Every structure is written in C-alpha cells, then in structure tokens.
A and B are shown apart, each in its own frame.
Chain A
Amino acid sequence: MTLSMQVARKRLALLWFVGAGICFAVLLFISFFARKVDLVGLWDWFLPAMVPNLSLIIGVLVYTQRHQEQADIQVDCFLYRLTLGLSLLYIFLLLLPLLFFPLTGKTLPELLDISRLWLAAVQGLATGVMGAFFVRQDEK
C-alpha cells in the first residue's frame, strides 16, 4: 500500500507544528507568569529540540511548492506510519516534563536535565526517518 508523498509531508508537518505550538504555548505561559524560573535554561532546552526539524520541514515544503512540476512520488505506508509514530513519541516526550513536573516532586530544571537522556535517543530516530520525506528531490 502506498501514499502520496505530498499528503504524507503535509500530515507530518501538521503534527510537528501542532506539537511544537503546544510546547511553545506552555513555555510562554511559564515565562510570563512563573516566579523565579531560569528562563534561559528553559528555552535553551526547548529550541534545539524543535527548531532544526521545523526548519527542515519548512524548507522542503517551500521548495516543493516552488517546483510543482515534479511528479508526485508514492511512498510506502509502513514508512509513513513509522515516521508518524516516532514523531508523535518525540513530541510527547518533549511535552512530558513540561506538563508533568508538578506531579513528580522533582523541580523542572532537574526533569529537563533527565529528559535529555531519552530525548537524545528518540530525536535521532525521528530525525532520521523524517529525512525520507523532507529531502529535496531534484529531477535528473
């Protein structure tokens, strides 16, 4: 079973931007209303985790839009579902410390430090499979 590359890209892009938006909103809320928080550390944790992938998505989507003469490629559904699953997992692991730290008894900076352990593993996998969809494909 196959799926159109354009459709797959759009769905994945939507997932990433919605997930990043939720994280961004939570961080903004904390930045404006929280007391005595290390804002630099907080944003320093979030931005490198999201911005590179979002930049890649935006870049490929813009390029594809400009070169609409390209034939629409079909991609394997299995690969699409794998990419979707890993992306969902990655975004969930990003949101986990931000939303659940009040329930753990650990401070937010402690939890953000610990989260780098599992984010590093999943980020590599998610970025890797994203490369199957968000890469420039020139005509030969």
Chain B
Amino acid sequence: MTHLHPALSRALRAVLLTALLALAASTVESAPHPDVCIEGYVWREAFPDDRVCVTPDVREQTARDNQLAGARRETHGGAYGADTCKPGFVWREARPSDHVCVTPDVREQTARDNRLAHTRRLMAPAAANGAPPADAPATAAAEPAFVPETGRLPAPAAQAPVQIKKKMATKKMAAKKASFKLPEFPWPPPPYSTRLRLDRALLVAGQPMPSNGSVAARMERALAANGYNEVSYYAVPDGFAMVTQIERIDPNAAPAAEQRWSTQIDPVSLIPFSIDAYLRALLGKNGDTFRVIVFTFTPTPFTTSGTPVRPGEAMTWVEKGATALPAELAGRPYGGDTVCTALVYEFSISSLGAALQRPGLFDGQQHLRGAGILSVLERQP
C-alpha cells in the first residue's frame, strides 16, 4: 500500500474540503432564499435578518423609526430601564427583544405584518423543516402579548401558560390550513358565452419568479381596482380558477352604473300604469344582461361539458368558492406552460326568467376591456 507524504496528505484533504464547501455554497446560492417575498412586498429589515415581508411604505417607515429610536427614549431612563419610551410611544416588538419606540399604530401594523408573514412569501416557509429559531421574526403563529403603552414587558412567569396555549392553538390552525382543499370547479367547465386567453406577460410582468400566489394577487388587484371585491377560488386540474360575482352590464359591456350587483328586475309600476311597460314585461323585453367571469389558470387544455349551467347555479359560484388560495398552492411556481383563460358566462335576466346567452352579445376582449380588467393589467408594472 502506498503511503502519501503527511504534508501532501494534509494538502489534499484541505483541497477536498474546500471543493466540498464551494459545492455546498453554490447549491445554496442557486436555491432561492426561502423567505423571498411575493410581488409587491419587500423585507421589513427592522433588525438584521428581519425577513418579514411588508409593503415598501412599511419598510421605509421601519427605517425611519430605527433612525429616530434614540430620540424617542427617555433621556435618563425610566421604569423600564434605558429602553423606556417617551410618552406616546411604545415598543415596536417586531421580535420580543425589539425595543425601538414607535407610535401605537405602528406597533399594531408590525404585529399584523408578523401574523401575515407566511402568506406573503414566495416559497413555502421553513416551518416544514421544524420550528424557526428563537430570535427569528415572528410568524403568523405568534400573537403579541398585551403590553401597556409604557412598553413594559409582562412578567415572564405569567406569560408561560398563555404562550403554551397559544402555541397549541397555532399548531392546530396550521394543521387546518395545511389540510384545506379548494372546492372543485365543475370540470370540464359548462359551455360559456365567450372566452379570452390572457397574455402571460400581463400576469407575470415584473416578476422574476412568479408563483401562483403572486399571479393571483396581481389579478385580484386588477379586479379590485374595478370594483370586483368578491372573488372566489376553485381548484381545476393542475391549477386553480378565480370566479367573480354576477354583475349587470350596460350595452357597452361595461359594468352598469346602477344596480350593478343586483339581479332584481323592477316591477311595472301601478301608479302610473303603462300598458307599454306591462306588455314589455309580459313578453320578457324588460331584461338586462349579466355576466360572470371565470379565470382559469391551468396548463391543461380543456373543452366544455356540454351541459349548460343554470343561471341560478352560476350566480352562486362566488358564494361556494374559497376566499383565498391555500398557502401551499400559492407558493408553487407559476408554470411556464400555465395558461390563463377567461370564460365569460353571459345571462339575460328578465321578468320571464334567466337564460344563458350563447353566443354572447360581446366577445371576450370586449367583456374584459369593458370591465376595465385588461387596462389595469396593462398599466400595472
């Protein structure tokens, strides 16, 4: 057996170790940081390693508060030592040891951001690997303990049982969240009035690593900007769907100025009584056009089921869907082959009842442009 010179052997071991370390480092670098924020959010950085995702405004506020921290402490200390805040200020508590003095509303905002941290991350949080480090930023699991405005921490012994109960409740909630399944949208979807395939660039603009959550958030913002405040989520094969509530539209496919969300048909008035209005109502010529838009996000091509949806059923889609994407689905990358298709269901509702219009009065482009959704998506960076 050949024996190496001891010096050479040591040198060889050092080289191998260095190579291994470099390989590990490159693997770590190539993997995205587990706390990358979804589009529109940035790290708060209230302290080093603070990776809670907040809006840019909050980040700037946090930086300002850090700069002014010294000016907001009592000059000669106080009941709570050197960190005692001046009247009107309280400890921010972005983490338990965070004693930067801020206004009470900033403290509330900080607690809210901590609770919502897990919903704003691009990838699944590190909770899958076990509990986060003790000094890590507070996650949705932690509830801030009540602290008087002077910023004094309660006695640690009194907090322990409360914290244990809270941790147990949080674990149960986390288990419920993890097991939540989106309701399934009827698939293949019922025959629609018209459809429009949305350009991918509209949905992922400015996002280097889009996820389902970031794309859904972008679409929600575009919908909310046009008054669609009720959006529900469904599961579809390999993806998800977003459903809007039924709305009345005008002859230009724009949302109606009056009674937009009401499906009621006004009765013919008795006083004064109009024969013309009565006959129009008798023959169903007093109707209006309504629509429901279903945005499907799936790489799987699809046809229709062939069974038309009853108007009453389509009207309840928004009630039966989920209010948000589950975190697990939201954290998945938005696939390069995922296609967003807007299915528009157009209904005519008159005094003789409701009926699906196929084909619709408008095409998909007219519907989405009339609704203002396309223009907002095109404008948003």
Q: Which residues of A contact B (CB under 8 A)?
A: 29-30, 33-38, 101-105, 107-110
User: Which 9 pairs of residues, A with B, have the shortest CB-CB distance?
Assistant: A102-B281, A105-B267, A36-B355, A37-B352, A34-B283, A109-B353, A102-B268, A107-B353, A34-B284
Q: Complex: how many Å from CA A110 to CA B352? A: 9
Name the A residues within 8 Å of B28 (CB-CB).
Answer: none
Interface residues on B, range: 20 to 34
Indicate if the CB atoms of A35 and B352 lie closer than 8 Å: yes
Q: Complex: how many Å from CA A126 to CA B44? A: 78
Select A103's contact among B267, B286, B352, beta carbons within 8 Å: B267
Q: Which residues of B contact A (CB under 8 A)?
A: 264-268, 270, 277-278, 281-287, 348-355
The prevalent SS among residues of B at the interface is loop
Indicate if the CB atoms of A36 and B348 lie closer than 8 Å: yes
Q: Complex: how many Å from CA A30 to CA B348? A: 17
Q: Which residue of A lies closest to B277 (CB)?
A: A102
Indicate if the CB atoms of B265 and A38 lie closer than 8 Å: no
Indicate if the CB atoms of A37 and B353 lie closer than 8 Å: yes
Closest approach, in angstroms, between the C-beta of A5 and any C-beta of chain B? 40
Indicate if the CB atoms of B282 and A102 lie closer than 8 Å: yes
Select B267's contact among A30, A35, A38, A102, beta carbons within 8 Å: A102
Indicate if the CB atoms of A35 and B285 lie closer than 8 Å: yes
Q: Complex: how many Å from CA A34 to CA B265? A: 16
Indicate if the CB atoms of A105 and B350 lie closer than 8 Å: no
Q: Complex: how many Å from CA A108 to CA B350? A: 9
Q: Complex: how many Å from CA A109 to CA B353? A: 6
Q: Complex: how many Å from CA A107 to CA B288? A: 13
User: What is the total of A-B residue contacts with beta carbons within 8 Å?
Assistant: 62
Closest approach, in angstroms, between the C-beta of B224 and any C-beta of chain A? 31
Indicate if the CB atoms of B354 and A107 lie closer than 8 Å: yes
Select B283's contact among A30, A38, A105, beta carbons within 8 Å: A30
Name the A residues within 8 Å of B286 (CB-CB).
Answer: 102
Indicate if the CB atoms of A102 and B287 lie closer than 8 Å: no
Q: Complex: how many Å from CA A107 to CA B350? A: 7
**Could you give 30 example pairs across A and B, Cβ below 8 Å?**
A29-B282, A30-B283, A33-B283, A34-B282, A34-B283, A34-B284, A34-B285, A35-B285, A35-B287, A35-B350, A36-B284, A36-B353, A38-B355, A102-B268, A102-B278, A102-B281, A102-B286, A102-B351, A103-B268, A103-B270, A105-B264, A105-B266, A107-B265, A107-B350, A107-B351, A107-B352, A108-B351, A108-B352, A108-B353, A109-B353
In this complex, which of A38, A104, A107 has the most chain B Cβ atoms within 10 angstroms of its Cβ? A107
Name the B residues within 8 Å of A102 (CB-CB).
Answer: 267-268, 277-278, 281-282, 286, 351
Q: What would 12 more interface pairs be, CB under 8 Å, given A36-B352, A105-B266, A109-B353?
A: A30-B282, A30-B352, A34-B282, A35-B348, A36-B284, A38-B355, A102-B267, A102-B277, A105-B267, A107-B265, A107-B349, A109-B352
Name the A residues within 8 Å of B285 (CB-CB).
Answer: 34-35
Name the B residues within 8 Å of A37 (CB-CB).
Answer: 284, 352-353
Q: Complex: how many Å from CA A107 to CA B281? A: 10
Q: Which residue of A lies closest to B357 (CB)?
A: A36
Q: Complex: how many Å from CA A38 to CA B265? A: 17
Name the B residues within 8 Å of A34 (CB-CB).
Answer: 282-285, 352
Indicate if the CB atoms of B353 and A38 lie closer than 8 Å: yes
Name the A residues within 8 Å of B350 (CB-CB).
Answer: 35-36, 107
Indicate if the CB atoms of B283 and A104 lie closer than 8 Å: no
In this complex, which of B268, B287, B350, B352 has the most chain A Cβ atoms within 10 angstroms of its Cβ? B352
Closest approach, in angstroms, between the C-beta of B276 and any C-beta of chain A? 11
Q: Which residue of A lies closest to B273 (CB)?
A: A103
Closest approach, in angstroms, between the C-beta of B336 and any C-beta of chain A? 43
Q: Complex: how many Å from CA A30 to CA B280? A: 11
Q: Complex: how many Å from CA A36 to CA B286? A: 11
Given contacts A30-B282, A36-B352, A37-B352, contact A104 B267 (CB under 8 A): yes
Q: Complex: how many Å from CA A104 to CA B282? A: 12
Q: Complex: how many Å from CA A104 to CA B351? A: 9
Closest approach, in angstroms, between the C-beta of A26 and any C-beta of chain B? 8
